[in-house]
Structure 1
Amino acid sequence: MIFGRLDNFDLERASLPEAVLEGLRFLSETDLASVPAGRFDIDGDRIFANVQDGLTRAKDENRPESHRRYLDIQYVVSGAETIGFAPLAKAGPVTEDLAETSDLLFYDVMNDEMPLVLSEGSYAVFYPWDVHRPGCAVSNPGEKVRKVVVKIRL
Structure 2
Amino acid sequence: MIFGNIGQEGTYGFLPRDVKEFFEYAANHDLAGFEKGSHPIDGERFFVNIVEYETTLPENRFWEAHRKYLDVHLMLDGQEQIDLNFIENMEQKEFVEKDDFLPLEGEANSHVVLRPGDFLICYPNDGHRTAVAVNGPEKIRKAIFKVGI
Task: Compute the displacement of 1:53 (Å).
Answer: 1.2
Task: Compute the displacement of 1:151 (Å).
Answer: 0.5
TM-score by length of 2: 0.94
- Change in Cα spacing, 1:39 to 1:86, as seen in structure 2 (3 Å) is same
- Change in Cα spacing, 1:97 to 1:26, as seen in structure 2 (3 Å) is same
Aligned residue for 1:103? 100
Task: Compute the displacement of 1:145 (Å).
Answer: 0.4
CA contact (8 A) 2:92 2:102 kept: no
Q: Distance in 2 between matches of 1:24 and 1:91?
A: 31
Aligned residue for 2:49? 50
SS state of the match for residue 51, structure 2? strand
Amino acid at match of 1:113: N
Task: Compute the displacement of 1:86 (Å).
Answer: 1.3
State the 4+ residue runs in structure 1 displaced beyond 4 angstroms.
none
> Aligned runs of 1:65-144 on 2, under 5 Å?
65-94=64-93, 97-98=95-96, 100-110=97-107, 112-141=108-137, 143-144=138-139
Amino acid at match of 2:140: V
Aligned length: 149
Aligned residue for 1:152? 147
Aligned residue for 1:22? 21
Q: What per-residue deviation string (whole Å, max 9, x for no partner) do you get for residues 60-117 of structure 1?
A: 11111000111100110010000011111111131x532x11101112213x521110
Q: Distance in 1 between matches of 2:124 and 2:39?
A: 22
Amino acid at match of 1:63: F
Gap runs ≥5 in structure 1: none
Q: Distance in 1 between matches of 2:92 and 2:69?
A: 20
Q: Distance in 2 between matches of 1:133 and 1:150?
A: 16
SS state of the match for residue 97, structure 1? coil
> Aligned runs of 1:34-49 on 2, under 5 Å?
34-49=33-48
Q: Distance in 1 between matches of 2:26 and 2:60?
A: 28
TM-score by length of 1: 0.91
Gap runs ≥5 in structure 2: none
